[in-house]
Amino acid sequence: MPSRLLASHDAGSPENGLNGAVANFEQAAIVGNDGGQNQTGLSQVTVGSVGSLQWTDKGGAGTEASPSGAAISWGNGQPWDGNTFNNRLSDFSNYGKVTFRMSATDALNAVGSLGVQAWFQTGEYNTPEAAFQTTSGGGVGLDGEINLPIDGLYYDLVFPLSAVTNRLNVQQFGVNLFAHTNDLVINVDSIRFDEVTGVPGDYNGNGVVDAADYVLWRKGGPLSNEVDTPGTVNEADYTAWRARFGNAFGSGSVAGAAVPEPAGVVLLISALLGTLAVATNRNHGSQSS
């Protein structure tokens, strides 16, 4: 299938809309969780037939004394039987990206953004091939962090899967929230896996021609979706990238962005590298007011 809707969280979907979602780690950040890897603190909210998975994530420093930034996992989208080790392995080997449609709301009306990271647990349990992996390169910042605006609106967070190995055997996967100042109501509307048709100029294969592609070109590649001479990194690749800046795969992705001038590119790359330099742990940053 070119696309797989793994979880809709709509009315009538598996497990009364929870679709096998579980509080995986940093459970103490979830209001109502009893401290276990389970579904306490998670709920389904619906408007008519449309639903979402919801929880309140505590504001704090992201430490044991001040928890903030939970991680939620899904297995194969089917009901959870009380033990994540019993999940049937999922095969995502033919998919190139995963899209989490999410929103974050601050009851105190603070503005800012929330860092979100996608992660995968792959391989057979208790084998040398078992591995915890993040979708590095999926966004700007540490391990593919993407910033979700805290404004109550839904956004499609698109993470490429090119860095995730052994996608044939996925035990579970999910989102990891970074630490934030205030309590936030989080909604996950849906999770969708898609094949990725190459976007010319999208050198890192994340489905959109953006500043990260320029960084890869500056480093000398290797480049996916080259326009000029595949396998050769040259000035023509920069020209091709610049001419296509903002182009994206499919609907719902970032598209139509203004083409940055050379000075703007330098600022973009400086900001990108600065984020990488200061991000020191998985709970780094992301709510401002």
Q: Where are the domains of the chain?
A: 3-194, 211-278
Q: Under a CB-based contact definition with an 8 Å cutoff, are residues 112 and 286 in contact?
A: yes
For residue 259, how many other CB atoms are within 10 A of its CB?
13
Question: Span 3-194: which CATH code?
Answer: 2.60.120.260
Tell whether the model's pLDDT for residue 140 goes beyond 50: no
Q: Under a CB-based contact definition with an 8 Å cutoff, are residues 80 and 40 in contact?
A: no
- Rounded to 10°, the helix 211-218/262-278 angle is 90
Q: How many residues does the chain have?
A: 289
User: Taking all residues of the chain, what is their mean pLDDT, rounded to a whole number?
Assistant: 82
Share of the chain above pLDDT 90, in %: 46
Distance CA 7, CA 44 (A): 12
Question: Per-residue pLDDT averaged across 85-103, rounded?
Answer: 87
Tell whether the model's pLDDT for residue 26 goes beyond 80: yes
Contacts by 256-265, CB closer than 8 A, 24 or more apart: 257/210, 260/211, 265/211, 265/214
pLDDT category of residue 37 using cuts at 50, 70 and 90: very high
Peptide bond connecting 222 to the previous residue in cis, omega within 30 degrees of 0: yes
Q: What local confidence, expressed as pLDDT, does residue 143 receive?
A: 55
Q: What local confidence, expressed as pLDDT, does residue 277 receive?
A: 36
Beta strand 50-57 with 184-194 is antiparallel
Residue 215 has φ and ψ, to the nearest 5°, of: -60, -45
Name the DSSP letter for residue 129.
T
pLDDT category of residue 198 using cuts at 50, 70 and 90: confident
Largest CA distance in the chain: 57
Q: Which two tokens stand for residue 31?
A: 């209001």
Tell whether the model's pLDDT for residue 92 goes beyond 70: yes
Tell whether the model's pLDDT for residue 136 goes beyond 60: no
Q: Under a CB-based contact definition with an 8 Å cutoff, are residues 7 and 13 in contact?
A: yes
Share of the chain above pLDDT 70, in %: 80
Question: Per-residue pLDDT averaged across 133-149, rounded?
Answer: 66
Distance CA 148, CA 99 (A): 13
Q: What local confidence, expressed as pLDDT, does residue 195 receive?
A: 83
Question: Per-residue pLDDT averaged across 11-15, rounded?
Answer: 94
Of 166, 169, 159, residue with least CA distance to 125: 169
Tell whether the model's pLDDT for residue 186 goes beyond 50: yes
Q: Which one is predicted more confidently, 74 or 265?
A: 74
Q: What local confidence, expressed as pLDDT, does residue 117 receive?
A: 92
Tell whether the model's pLDDT for residue 31 goes beyond 90: yes
Q: Under a CB-based contact definition with an 8 Å cutoff, are residues 202 and 138 in contact?
A: no
Q: What local confidence, expressed as pLDDT, does residue 202 receive?
A: 87
Q: Please, which residues bridge with residue 132 across strands? A: 121
Distance CA 242, CA 223 (A): 15
Question: Per-residue pLDDT averaged across 38-54, rounded?
Answer: 96
58 Cβ neighbours under 8 A, 6+ residues apart: 28, 29, 30, 31, 67, 68, 183
Tell whether the model's pLDDT for residue 227 goes beyond 70: yes
Q: Which one is predicted more confidently, 140 or 187?
A: 187
Q: What local confidence, expressed as pLDDT, does residue 109 receive?
A: 82
Percent helix, strand and coil across the chain, each to the nearest 5 = 15, 30, 55
